[in-house]
Chain A
Amino acid sequence: MVQYSAERVDASFAALSDATRRGVLEQLGHAEASITDLAEKFQMTLTGMKKHVGVLEQAGLVVTEKVGRVRTCRLGRSRLEQETAWIERYRQLWHQRFDALDAVVGELARKEQADGRRQRR
């Protein structure tokens, strides 16, 4: 299940506000890459790239794994995971709507009952 947190939304937004980070995501969409590869491709220092990847990782957009001395980066979510997450959010939306609908229908039923009682008197 996908948890909705304001922090997570903020993190995603912050992560995507930077052109380099959007480029990194696009790059990782083609293939996994090490931080060294990414630093070279985007012509920046290893430290700079580590920071960018860290931001993407915090937003859940990228996951990294260290094997030996190399840290490999890939996209955080597969298409299937994305679909599952969307369906869960869609379910949440309708669940809240239906809870509210339940309350509206309950109120209508109570009103009718009360009106009926009044008429019978």
Chain B
Amino acid sequence: MDAGRDGERIPMRHETTVERTSERELVVTRTVNGPARLVFEAWTTPALLRQWWAPKAYGISFITCEVDARTGGTYRFVFGHPASEQPMEFFGRYLEVTPYSRLVWTNDEGGEGGSVTTVTFEERGTGTVIVMRDRYPSKDALDAAIASGSTGGFTETFEQLDELLVGLVASQSQI
């Protein structure tokens, strides 16, 4: 039967978890199949990043993917979406690049409220555990990121409008 053959081809399914671990920090965890060396390569090589950073289901596509993955180097991602005339831009600087184990970068597109992201790769068995920490400068900065409704995807462009409005209304009512 085909089911058996397909079963062999499908790699183990892994969970992705997100937790707000403190007033100003979000932590995303996930295990992927393969050694840390290859995960690091996929994270720091533009041609490979293009293949996974913009999920197909979101309808986002890369317009620009510039990555200089060295300590002090910069990155710049520009995405387009058929429903939006304005491209979406993300950029920042690598504060630390330690091959195969650790990347730290700033997220500067949002100005001063931007987070610093630290991602670590740790091999466990045949897989690599990825822990990604987004640390915001303050509780207010993380709250504002949430209230904006945007997670960096694109399909939410419209929904974020309602969340923004509800967020504004809610913050007004708390005063």
Contact = CB atoms under 8 A, between A and B. Distances in A.
Contact of B166 (A8, A25, A94, A104): A25
A61 interface: yes
Chain A at the B interface: SS class: helix
A61 to B, nearest CB: 6
Contacts of B153: 89, 93
Nearest to B35: A109
B68 interface: no
A8 to B, nearest CB: 8
B51 A96 contact: no
A101 B52 contact: yes
A108 B41 CA distance: 9
A70 interface: no
Given A82-B163, A96-B58, A103-B52, A91 B158 contact: no
Contacts of A101: 32, 39, 42-43, 52
Chain B at the A interface: SS class: helix
A90 B41 CA distance: 24
Nearest to A15: B162
A4 B41 CA distance: 32
Interface in B120-175: 128, 130, 132, 146-147, 149, 151-153, 155-156, 158-159, 161-163, 165-170, 172-173
Contact of A30 (B14, B53, B55, B173): B173
Given A28-B169, A29-B170, A108-B34, 13 more contacts: A9-B158, A25-B169, A29-B173, A82-B163, A82-B166, A87-B146, A89-B156, A94-B30, A96-B58, A101-B43, A103-B51, A104-B42, A106-B34
Interface of B: 11, 14, 16-18, 20, 26, 28, 30, 32-35, 38-39, 41-43, 48, 51-53, 55-58, 128, 130, 132, 146-147, 149, 151-153, 155-156, 158-159, 161-163, 165-170, 172-173
15 contacts: A12-B158, A12-B161, A25-B166, A77-B166, A83-B146, A86-B146, A87-B26, A88-B18, A94-B16, A94-B132, A98-B14, A98-B16, A100-B52, A104-B48, A108-B48
